[in-house]
Amino acid sequence: MRRTRRTLNGFTVVELLVVVAVIGIISASLIALSVRSYRDAQLRDGAVQLMTELRQARAAAQRSNQSSTVTLTSTSSTVPKGTYTVQVGGAATATTRSLPANVQAAPYKPASTSQYPNSAVYTAPYAEMGGAGAVTGVIWEVSSTQSSRRWYIKTVGVTGKVMLSAQAN
């Protein structure tokens, strides 16, 4: 008597495990990439928020004919903080604002010179910086506790024009 062998169509357990492992590896790398992208976007949002506050303070000094100030809570480049204050025009008190979660700002300190100030003052009526011997520009470093990337906010010269850069220089 002859036995006939019946063949089954399908996948073996080993083949299924290989496919599941490949899908797991691809999923893990995509999750890591999306988390990094989210943290970078959060850092950039914080930098743009601070840059916008500086631009609004400059515009308010021009419009209201009263000086405006944006001050970082951090006074040292080694201790960045996540808050800052804004005093626009003739406001009696400064308003404290927060940067997004895990985003911090501090005055930038180059290796060869002293630290930049933690305050940007726009003097009325032309929103100039550096009146009466004050500093004519600032560089602030915006960083995150969860990312190695940094953004630099610069106010340039007497005009106080605000720029965002990935490099300090």
For the chain, domain boundaries: 13-165
Q: Give the pLDDT confidence score for residue 1 in this predicted structure.
A: 62
- Global model pTM greater than 0.85: no
CATH architecture of 13-165: 3-Layer(bab) Sandwich (3.55)
End-to-end CA distance of the chain: 89
Residues found in the chain: 169
Over the chain (169 residues), the average pLDDT of each successive run of 10 is 72 94 95 90 93 90 86 85 85 87 90 82 80 71 90 86 84
Quick one: pLDDT at residue 54?
A: 92
Q: pLDDT at position 150, please?
A: 92
CA distances from 4 to 1, 7, 9 (A): 10, 10, 16
